[in-house]
Amino acid sequence: MSRPLGTQVPRTPLRRILLYAFATLVFIYLMLPSLIVIPISFGESTYLELPPQSLSLRWYQDYFERQEWVSATITSGVVGVLVAVVSVSLGSLAAYGLVRGRFPGKTVLNALIISPIIVPMIITAVAIYKLYSALGLLGTILGFVLGHTIIAFPFVIIIISATLRGIDETLEQAAMSLGASRLTALRRVVFPLMLPGMVTAALFAFLISFDELLIALFISTPTLSTLPKRLWEGIRTEINPTIAAVSTILVLLTVLVLAGLLISRVYFERRR
């Protein structure tokens, strides 16, 4: 369709161009250190070499053939899934109470729940280690799940609370006025509307748990450790491209989780 005579073609403002350019530079600055390990992981040399002189999958093969790497990966995956389930299950109820509830001390309670984000992680890790030493939870799946839930829970609360604030409270009130109990209204009306936020929170909780290192450094044992802990030990004791291969897998996992967030967002928006 032709434009009327005398009209000008709209131009992109210079300010927007500068913003996009700045955002691109920041993205490259943040991602470049992580992306450097990818070509290194495909090198043939026994040393970290960039650019690699020849390409090979030997370090990925080494990763899959070594039991300590595979076992640590399985542990991280199992713990991450359990942390996502536990933190979202409890966080959904807690967020509902904090957003919909009317009770004294709600602001203080909300601040206490969010406090693990503010407290330095090393302090949290030391406290968990001392507690687990007394309870006998060092080097156990339960210990990892409880410890990682502590740091994932505040993020779950923030995400689900934001979702709840976007849900019209009158929908819940209408359901109860038609005879539904609060529990039924919560189950049939509120939770389905909360589902996008719950999925997002679950993916974030999984990623936080899978990438966590400091708590793992304190509560791991020679028989049970997570992948970040095993990667840290590898950096200290054996500098070889297997570490780059594992790092590439972690980067790929992060990308997949972020892609999952985007896909879930598009899916739920189309269902509305």
- Residue 3 pLDDT class (50, 70, 90 cuts): low
- Listed by start position, the domains of the chain span 74-224
Q: Which fold has domain 74-224?
A: MetI-like fold (1.10.3720)
To the nearest whole number, what is the mean pLDDT of the chain? 82
Asked if the peptide bond before residue 228 counts as cis, ω within 30 degrees of 0, the response is no
pLDDT band at 86 (very low <50, low <70, confident <90, very high): very high
CA atoms within 13 A on the CB side of 195: 11
HSE-CB of 213 using CA atoms within 13 angstroms? 7
The model carries a pTM of 0.80
Residue 120 CA neighbour count, 13 Å, CB half: 3
Whether 225 and 219 have beta carbons less than 8 Å apart is answered as no
Position 129 pLDDT exceeds 80: yes
Looking at residue 2, what is its pLDDT?
52
CA end-to-end span of the chain: 33
